């Protein structure tokens, strides 16, 4: 109906290319336009001036011989002022952009090792954008934004990188555990040394108290019972303690079997040994 009335409608965010007898005449902006077809005028195509996006996946190799897939996202749009160039000069815009992206990425990434590719992805994106802007401006296109959205190494390389990272973390954890165990052992040793020192002091004081008690008992008994010597009293005390010890060993429910010499001679030997030990301890104290 529009053609019959010599009118044509151009939608928003779109421009139309008008020719007359096969020759470009003008770019029609959005709105309604008179198109006298009987005078040879016709619309030969429409061109969107919206921002479009093209994702380009490029496989290349890094400086350290690792194959990676680099995904670049290109946002571009046709300029309404240069719509005729965009319409007539390029037959396939997306393939043209893709070719430039391949060229820049395959020229930039092989100069970098894999770690630097991840760190310098913004620089790679800027190089792609500069090259595209310089090339596509001649065809009536504007490069709005260029992003490197993904860098994916080969699956075996990725697995190896994960294993290296995991091994480093395990090594760090092992060092931390070893350091903690070292601190625990030092503290445990310090505690055991302190406990043994305090135990030694306690035993020494206990033995000193026993010696002092025996000495007082011997002196008191000698005074109260005339005719007895210190040796007699000491022997009686030691024999009494000997039998008390025997009684405690036999009364203990969980004690193991103990074989000890027993008899009058054995009692005399035990008394002599204890007496000698006490006398030597007294002599060392003086």
52 CB-near residues (< 8 Å, 6+ apart):
75, 76, 77
**Range(s) of the domain holding residue 16:** 7-48
Least confident interval from 39-53, 112-126, 128-142, 252-266: 252-266
Last residue of a domain, one of 153, 183, 217: 153
Residue 239 located in a structural domain? yes
Whether the predicted pLDDT of 269 surpasses 70: no
Shared-domain flag, residues 142 and 120: yes
CA separation, residue 18 to residues 3, 25, 29, 42 (Å):
13, 6, 11, 6
Q: How far apart are CA 5 and CA 2, in angstroms?
A: 5
Is 193 within the bounds of a domain? no
Instruction: Please tell me whether residues 44 and 79 are part of one structural domain.
Output: no
Q: Are residues 63 and 27 in the same domain?
A: no
Best CA proximity match to 77, nearest among 54, 101, 104, 103: 54
Most confident of 5-14, 138-147, 196-205, 206-215: 138-147
Query: Do the domain assignments include residue 244?
Result: yes
Say how far apart CA 108 and CA 159 lie, in whole Å. 25
Q: Are residues 110 and 94 in the same domain?
A: yes
Is residue 148 domain-shared with residue 61, that is, in the same domain? Answer: yes
Rounded CA separation 233/222 (Å):
7
Do 146 and 67 reside in the same domain of the chain?
Answer: yes
**Pair (58, 146) in one structural domain:** yes
Report the pLDDT value the prediction gives residue 26, as an integer from 0 to 100.
86
Total structural domains in the chain?
A: 3
**pTM, entire model:** 0.52
The verdict on residue 90 lying in a domain is yes
- Quick one: pLDDT at residue 1? 43
**139 domain residue, yes or no:** yes
The pLDDT value given to residue 75:
93
């Amino acid at each position: 109906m529009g053609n019959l009335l010599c009118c044509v409608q151009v939608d928003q965010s779109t421009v139309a290319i008008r020719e007359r007898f096969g020759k470009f005449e003008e770019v029609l902006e959005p709105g309604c336009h008179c198109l006298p077809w009987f005078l040879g005028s016709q619309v030969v195509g429409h061109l969107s001036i919206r921002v479009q996006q093209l994702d380009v996946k490029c496989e290349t190799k890094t400086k350290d011989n690792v194959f990676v897939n680099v995904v670049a996202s290109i946002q571009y749009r046709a300029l309404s002022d240069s719509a005729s160039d965009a319409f007539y000069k390029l037959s396939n815009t997306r393939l043209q952009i893709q070719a430039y992206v391949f060229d820049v990425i395959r020229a930039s990434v092989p100069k970098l090792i894999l770690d630097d590719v991840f760190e310098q992805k913004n620089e790679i994106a800027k190089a792609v954008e500069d090259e595209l802007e310089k090339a596509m401006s001649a065809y009536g296109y504007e490069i709005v934004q260029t992003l490197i959205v993904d860098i994916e190494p080969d699956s075996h390389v990725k697995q190896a990188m994960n294993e290296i990272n995991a091994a480093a973390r395990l090594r760090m954890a092992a060092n931390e555990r070893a350091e903690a165990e070292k601190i625990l052992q030092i503290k445990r040793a310090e505690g055991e040394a302190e406990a043994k020192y305090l135990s030694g002091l306690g035993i020494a004081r206990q033995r000193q108290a026993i010696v002092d008690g025996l000495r007082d008992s011997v002196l008191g008994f000698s005074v109260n019972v005339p005719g007895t010597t210190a040796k007699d009293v000491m022997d009686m005390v030691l024999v009494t303690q000997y039998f008390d010890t025997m009684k405690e060993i036999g009364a203990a429910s969980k004690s193991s079997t103990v074989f000890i010499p027993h008899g009058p001679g054995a009692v005399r030997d035990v008394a002599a040994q204890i007496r000698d030990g006490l006398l030597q301890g007294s002599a060392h104290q003086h």
